[in-house]
Amino acid sequence: DTEVTQTPKHLVMGMTNKKSLKCEQHMGHRAMYWYKQKAKKPPELMFVYSYEKLSINESVPSRFSPECPNSSLLNLHLHALQPEDSALYLCASSATAAYEQYFGPGTRLTVT
Amino acid sequence: KNQVEQSPQSLIILEGKNCTLQCNYTVSPFSNLRWYKQDTGRGPVSLTIMTFSENTKSNGRYTATLDADTKQSSLHITASQLSDSASYICVVSEPGGSYIPTFGRGTSLIVHP
C-alpha cells in the first residue's frame, strides 16, 4: 500500500467553527507533513512530525493545531479560521525526513 | 536563502510533441532533487528522485537529468499526451534530519490535441 489518504475531500466551514482534517498512511513511514497550497502556488510547509514528535513548525498561526496520535495518523485541528485560510491542504509522508515524500490527494478547505 | 527557479512558467504544446522543463537551484548542501506532477486540485505525484551522484533517471516517458556542478536539472517529456497537462514542480532538499524542502513555483504544461 503506497497510498496516503486524506479526509474529507472538501470542507466548508464558518469562521467560528471547529473542524479537523485527517491523514493516514500504512507504509510504515515515520515522517509526516502538513502543507498549505494556494491556487497556482507551490505547497508551503506548515508542520513536520518525525517519529510522532513535532519537529518543525513553520510559524503557523495557533488557529491551526497539529496532532500525531500514532505513526500512521496525522490530524490538523482547525479553529477560528479566516477566509484567507481557504486553500488546498496536503498531507505527505516519507520513510524518514529527507526521503521521498508521498502526497495525499488533499482537502479543499473553504472558510466562509 | 535557498531558491529553486523553474522555467518556463507555462508551456503549451501539441499532443505527440516533446518538451523540456528546466529547474535551477541554489540549495547547498544538496541531498536530492525530485520532480512532481500535480493535476489541478490534487496532490503532487512523484515522477523521479535523484541524489547528487545521479545524472539521469527515467520513468516511462519522463526523463530527468541533473548537473550538480551547475545546479541545474531538466525534465524531458517524450511523445506528450493530453493527460500530461498539469503543473510540474521541482523540489530540492538539504541533507540532515531537520528536513525542509524547497519547492519551485512549477511549470504549467498544457497539451493540446
User: Is the Cβ pair B41, A55 closer than 8 Å?
Assistant: no
Q: What pLDDT score does B85 carry?
A: 97
Lowest mean pLDDT among A6-15, A52-61, B85-94: A52-61
Average pLDDT on B8-16 reads: 97
- Flag whether pLDDT at A55 surpasses 90: no
Best probe of the A interface among B51, B54, B99, B100, by most A CBs < 10 A, is B99
Among B34, B99, B106, the residue with its CB nearest the CB of A97 is: B99
Query: Measured between CB atoms, does B9 come within 8 Å of chain A?
Result: no
Among A40, A55, A101, the residue with its CB nearest the CB of B98 is: A55
- Flag whether pLDDT at B70 surpasses 60: yes
pLDDT classification of A65: cutoffs 50, 70, 90: very high
A89 vs B32, which has greater pLDDT?
A89
User: Is the Cβ pair B97, A42 closer than 8 Å?
Assistant: no
User: Is the Cβ pair A106, B93 closer than 8 Å?
Assistant: no
Cell numbers for B47: 515522477
Among B42, B43, B97, the residue with its CB nearest the CB of A97 is: B97
Lowest mean pLDDT among A31-40, A49-58, A65-74, B84-93: A49-58
Lowest mean pLDDT among A10-14, A94-98, B34-38: A94-98
Query: Measured between CB atoms, does B17 come within 8 Å of chain A?
Result: no
Among B43, B46, B103, the residue with its CB nearest the CB of A42 is: B103
Q: What pLDDT score does A96 carry?
A: 79
CB atoms within 10 A of CB A9: 10
Average pLDDT on B77-99 reads: 88
pLDDT classification of A99: cutoffs 50, 70, 90: confident
Geometric angle at alpha carbon A8, from A5 and A13, rounded to 5°: 150
- Flag whether pLDDT at A102 surpasses 60: yes
pLDDT classification of B1: cutoffs 50, 70, 90: confident
Tell me whether residue B24 is exposed, middle or buried, using C-beta atoms within 10 angstroms of its C-beta: 0 to 12, 13 to 18, 19 or more.
Answer: middle
Q: What pLDDT score does B8 carry?
A: 97
The per-residue pLDDT for range A66-92, each reduced to its tens digit, is 999 999 999 999 999 999 999 999 999
| Mean confidence (pLDDT) of chain B | 92
Q: What is the DSSP string of B46-91?
A: EEEEEETT--EEEETTEEEEEETTTTEEEEEE-S--GGG-EEEEEE
Q: Which residue of B has its CA nearest to A42?
A: B105
User: Is the Cβ pair B100, A98 closer than 8 Å?
Assistant: no
CA dihedral A26, A28, A34, A38 (to 10 degrees): -60
Best probe of the B interface among A24, A86, A99, A100, by most B CBs < 10 A, is A100
Q: Which residue of B has its CA nearest to A58?
A: B100
Distance from CA of A4 to the nearest CA of B (A): 10
Highest mean pLDDT among A55-59, A99-103, B2-6: B2-6
